Amino acid sequence: MDAEQLRECGHRMVDFVADYYKSIETFPVLSQVQPGYLKKLLPDTAPSKPDTLEALFDDIREKIVPGVTHWQSPNYFAYYPSNSSTAGFLGEMLSAAFNIVGFSWITSPAATELEIIVLDWFAKMLKLPSQFLSTALGGGIIQGTASEAVLVALLAARDRTLRKHGKTSLKKLVVYASDQTHSSLQKACQIAGIFQENVRLVKADCNKNYAVTPEAVSEAIATDLLSGLIPFFICATVGTTSSSAVDPLPELGQIAKAHDMWFHIDAAYAGSACICAEYRHHLNGVEEADSFNMNAHKWFLTNFDCSLLWVKDRSYLIQSLSTNPEFLKNKASQENSVVDFKDWQIPLGRRFRSLKLWMVLRLYGVENLQSYIRKHIELAKYFEQLVIADSRFEVVTPRTFSLVCFRLLPLASDQDDGRNLNYDLMDAANSSGKIFLSHTVLSGKFILRFAVGAPLTEEQHVFAAWKLLQDLASKQLESS
Ligand code: PLP
């Protein structure tokens, strides 16, 4: 590493990135390339001699950028957001600079200790019960994704139950969640060896905005108990992926408690909103949870990846995930005087991710972060009102956070309940390159999802997106 070379090249890269952000609206939001486009543009083998940075920048501009979908564009409304910010970006830079691999405390004490402090700060911002703090039996850790978070929670829960019922009981263990739960739970069950026929995805209630009902979960548990099975894990969601539904945490928590089950809460997207007093009630019931997860890399200005997981009792994670090979032994670990996050996660190696979260918290401050969330929710309300005002459309589920689920009403002649009509509208909007939105299906209805949450989005972008959708809808309706 030549420091002066880094300074010069780094400045050029920062200029490139700043120019990218400045001109981000000039690119099609959704990349318009065809599969395999890049193979035609790049050589078959790596260069044997070094290339110049200039040549690389040319290739980035001409060959890479066209294949990028611009998640940071203010016209990005698909899936859920994945925020970048100056603070988060600088944190990533610094983390790349140190490039530590912080599996044990000794490998970089600052990495472990900052993570503990920042996760405690965050738990206090969310008003999580004090048992989730590092000063109690619990604590927080940064995982890569919500998928990893639910997997480690599930492994801890599985092993806790197997210690009680015996290892041969694995085939009897049953997991409960709503059919609106993110597919990461299903994957976690596959990895954890939970029998597929023992994963109960209980039908959510379409009259309750697609939240699951406690009655339906209780009923499923009662049936399984009668069959000699062992209910052991309930996963509730605050802000489901399709429609931002909020499962009834207090009741599900009580059910879990009554049956000595692990209670996990997935608030990957909507957890961010709960730093605002007026949205915090969505976390009521978290007192009953064994584990709670939210993604700071979604809607919290912290560059990917940064998924926050808190547990009430860290010993369960450690019992499931710790190893102690000779080559990693050191005085601090052996004396049990430190946290070694390798024992709370799947991989050994881990990045210094707390830096970027710390920088976001310090450079914005909680009040500005709250305003940021509120602004997006106001913009989503604005979009919702625009939809309501056009009688050709309907808002399909009530909006809770910054996601609006809507659709063009089917025509009388439609055989497919408006599926093709809405698919074509989405396709036309996305292939225009002007906006990017995604879809879901609820109760058989094909629904468009408009998720506000990109950091640069302003009212003018929401209005322009709506005008585009209206114009495309008019054209479509004229031609049908
Ligand atoms: N849970 C919910 C509610 C989500 O919306 C998502 C992704 O959007 C996930 C989990 C999975 O997130 P990750 O990519 O961090 O695993």
Ligand 1 probe mutation, 184, 242, 303, most atoms within 8 A of CB: 184
CA 95–ligand 1 middle distance (angstroms): 24
Q: Is residue 104 part of a domain?
A: yes
Query: Does 401 share its domain with 333?
Result: no
Q: Which of 19, 38, 73 is the last residue of a domain?
A: 73
Same domain for 105 and 197, yes or no, is yes
Q: How far is the CA of 182 from the centre of ligand 1 (A)?
A: 6
pLDDT value at position 333? 95
Name residues whose C-beta falls within 8 Å of residue 296's C-beta, 6 or more positions apart in sequence: 122, 272, 302, 306, 307, 308, 357, 360
Tell me which residue has its CA closest to atom 5 in ligand 1.
241
The best mutation among 241, 293, 307 to test binding of ligand 1, ranked by most ligand atoms within 8 Å of the C-beta, falls on 241
* Residue 297 alpha carbon, nearest atom of ligand 1: 15
Instruction: Examine the domain organization and report whether 360 and 392 are in the same domain.
Output: no
Examine residue 187 and state whether it is found in any structural domain, yes or no: yes
The reply to whether 339 and 373 lie within a common domain is no
At residue 414, the pLDDT reads: 87
Rounded Cα gap, residues 184 and 309, in angstroms: 15
> What ipTM was estimated for this complex?
0.98
Number of domains in the chain: 3
> Residue 82 domain-assigned?
no
* Ligand 1: lining residues by beta carbon, under 6 Å: 80, 145-147, 182, 184, 237, 239-241, 266, 268-269, 295, 307
The CATH number that applies at residue 67 is 1.20.1340.10
Query: Is 250 found in the same domain as 209?
Result: yes
Residues 216 and 134 in one domain: yes
Q: Could you tell me if 218 and 332 lie in one domain?
A: yes
pTM: 0.97
Of 143, 145, 182, best ligand 1 pocket probe by most atoms within 8 Å of the beta carbon = 182
For residue 79, give the ligand 1 atom closest to its CA. 8
Q: Which atom of ligand 1 lies at the shortest distance from residue 144's CA?
A: 15
Substitution site in 185, 210, 212, 269 for ligand 1 pocket (most atoms within 8 Å of beta carbon): 269
Residue 93, classified by CB atoms within 10 Å of its CB into exposed (0-12), middle (13-18) or buried (19+), is middle
452 alpha carbon – ligand 1 mean position (Å): 16
**Residue 80 Cα to ligand 1 middle (Å):** 9
Instruction: Give ∠ CA 370-84-184 in degrees, rounded to 5.
Output: 90
Does residue 89 lie within any of the structural domains?
Answer: no
Q: Is residue 308 domain-shared with residue 253, that is, in the same domain?
A: yes
How far does residue 250's CA lie from ligand 1's centre (Å)?
Answer: 22
Rounded Cα–Cα distance for residues 295 and 276 (Å): 16
**Token reading at 399:** 């909006």
Domain boundary among 317, 333, 364: 364
CATH of residue 434's domain is: 3.90.1150.10
Residue 389 and residue 340 share a domain? no
Nearest to 373 by CA among 272, 241, 243, 304: 272
Question: Within this chain, do residues 346 and 395 fall inside the same structural domain, yes or no?
Answer: no
Specify if 90 maps to a domain: no
Of 364, 391, 408, which one is at a domain's C-terminal end? 364
Centroid of ligand 1 to alpha carbon of 472 (angstroms): 31
d(CA 91, CA 114): 13
pLDDT value at residue 34:
97
Both tokens of 101, joined, read: 């691999």
Given the CA of residue 241, which atom of ligand 1 is nearest to it? Answer: 5
How far apart are the CA of 391 and the centre of ligand 1, in A?
Answer: 33
From residue 290, how far is each of 11, 52, 73, 310 by CA, in Å?
A: 46, 52, 37, 8
CATH code of the domain covering residue 286: 3.40.640.10
Residues 359 and 384 occupy one common structural domain: no
61 with 138, same domain: the answer is no
d(CA 44, CA 170): 48
Each residue's pLDDT, cut to its tens digit, for the chain (480 residues) gives 799 999 999 999 999 999 999 999 999 999 999 999 999 999 999 999 999 999 999 999 999 999 999 999 999 999 999 999 999 999 999 999 999 999 999 999 999 999 999 999 999 999 999 999 999 999 999 999 999 999 999 999 999 999 999 999 999 999 999 999 999 999 999 999 999 999 999 999 999 899 999 999 999 999 999 999 999 999 999 999 999 999 999 999 999 999 999 999 999 999 999 999 999 999 999 999 999 999 999 999 999 999 999 999 999 999 999 999 999 999 999 999 999 999 999 999 999 999 999 999 999 999 999 999 999 999 999 999 999 999 999 999 999 999 999 999 999 888 899 999 999 999 999 999 999 999 999 999 999 999 999 999 999 999 999 999 999 999 999 987
Angle at which helices 354-364 and 109-125 cross, to 10°: 50
Q: What is the dihedral of CA 344, 348, 352, 358, to 10 degrees?
A: -10
Pocket test for ligand 1, best of 178, 180, 235, 266 (most atoms within 8 A of CB): 266
- According to DSSP, residue 338 is labeled S
What pairing do the DSSP bridges indicate for beta strands 393-397 and 173-178?
unpaired
Domain boundaries, position 137: 100-364
